[in-house]
Amino acid sequence: MAVITIVGAGMMGSALAFPARENNNEVRIVGTHLDREIIDACIAENKHPKFEKAFPEGISFYQIEELEKALIGTDVVIGGVSSFGVDWFSDTVLPVIPENVIVLTVTKGLLDTPDGKLLTYPEVWQKKLDAIGKKLSLNAIGGPCTSYELVAHDQTEVAFCGNDIETLKYLKKLMQTDYYHISVTTDVIGIESAVALKNGYALGIALTIGLNQKKFGIDSELHFNSQAAIFGQAVKEMYKLLDYQGAATLENIAVGYGDLYVTVYGGRTRLVGILLGRGLNIDEAKAELNGVTLESLVVAERVARAVKVAAGKGILDAKDFPLLLHTDEIIIEKAPVNIPWEDFTFIKEV
């Protein structure tokens, strides 16, 4: 048994409390400054407001002002913030975590640099730790997993990645259940890149749902040919980007494509893609989804920016990324959806 403190009371961070507590670990959930009402509800009802199922008994809940109290005796900190909380987690949480505590994050995303490189969040956080002279073991979770299905104990396959295999095996022992299955790997860049890239591409696939609703009616039956066509293009582009990251292994590809699949079928990325496909511009879509964080937009913008820089250097060919670059046009230039189908042919003519 270990003491596991989850920082961030969003849906995914809170969902991880289920396997953690069901494995007889002591579990503490600390809300961010944005989670006050969620923590109040959890204290009152032992239930997250977005979940139908109550938490396992024995979990403790804390407001952000009680963070240091919640960290006393902690063996593992799970970072449950969204990609919009990366800087906050870096500045507020990492500095107060006791030395040599293991950190496991579910935050997915990439940062682009002026020279066209893509950095994973563990890389960014490691630079912060190096700057303040602190030693923490940074690890991350990747793979196809929605929070509400994890809470429902649907069979789930994920990967834990980090620099030390023994630490990863320890984390697996703490968290694995008969429904939450964990692979371990030291390929942090590969796993983290794969699960971040899928966000922008899931948005692209969801465009077709909105386009068909616009053409045939909102309540019309789903059309899958168009979704499959863009899924195929997304697969090609993700592969090239993983290769650019030096991480185009079968294992990383499987994790990324699996995560792409599950993201297309639910969640915020699907919603914004559908609205854009119906004809709303990006500002109108954001207004329609007031209060919903849209990480997919940030990922698509950053990756497209990196591709443009790399293409300018002759490292990548912009023609290999028509879906990504059109998605970027929709987000940045508020261009109407006009999917370049002829650029998606599976086999290029010689």
pLDDT tens sequence across 19-72:
999 999 999 999 999 999 999 999 999 999 999 999 999 999 999 999 999 999
Going by pLDDT thresholds of 50, 70 and 90, the confidence category of residue 296 is confident
**Residue 110 and residue 120 in contact, taking contact as beta carbons nearer than 8 Å:** yes
- pLDDT range class, residue 236, cuts 50, 70, 90: very high
**pLDDT at res. 119:** 97
Categorize the per-residue pLDDT at 248 as very low, low, confident or very high, splitting at 50, 70 and 90: very high
Crossing angle of helices 250-264/225-244, nearest 10°?
A: 140
* pLDDT score of 281: 93
Do residues 80 and 12 lie in contact, with contact meaning Cβ atoms separated by under 8 Å? yes
- Give, in order, the Cα–Cα distances in Å from 155 to each of 16, 149, 164, 191, 289: 14, 8, 26, 20, 30
Q: What is the pLDDT of residue 292?
A: 66
Give the mean pLDDT of 259-287: 91
Instruction: Judge whether residue 266 has pLDDT over 80.
Output: no
Cβ-contact 222, 216 below 8 angstroms: no
Give the SS3 label for residue 33. coil
What is the greatest pairwise CA distance in the chain? 66
> What is the percentage of the chain residues whose pLDDT exceeds 70?
98
Find, among 116, 149, 141, 57, the residue nearest to 244 by Cα.
116
The stretch 227-237 carries a mean pLDDT of: 95
E strand segments, 69-215: 76-79, 102-105, 110-112, 118-120, 137-142, 156-162, 180-185
Please give the pLDDT value at position 5. 98
Torsion of CA 308, 313, 314, 316, to 10 degrees: -40
> Which has more pLDDT, 173 or 288?
173
Amino acid identity, position 162: G
Residue 293: the pLDDT is 64
- Residue 36: what pLDDT? 97
Query: Minimal CA–CA distance to 202: which of 231, 222, 178?
Result: 231
Please state, in angstroms and rounded to a whole number, the distance separating the CA atoms of residues 343 and 59: 52
Res. 333: pLDDT tops 70: yes
198 is catalytic: yes
pLDDT at 291: 59
Question: pTM (2 decimals)?
Answer: 0.93
* Options 169, 173, 198, 348, the catalytic residue: 198
pLDDT at 349: 66
Q: Which of 105-109, 114-118, 242-246, 284-288 has the lowest mean pLDDT?
A: 284-288
pLDDT at residue 110 in the model: 95
Give the Cα separation of 159 and 141 in Å (integer): 6
How far apart CA 193 and CA 23 sit, in angstroms, is 29
* Whether the Cβ atoms of residue 278 and residue 157 lie closer than 8 Å to each other: no
Q: So what's the pLDDT on residue 209?
A: 95
The alpha-carbon radius of gyration of the chain (Å, integer) is 20
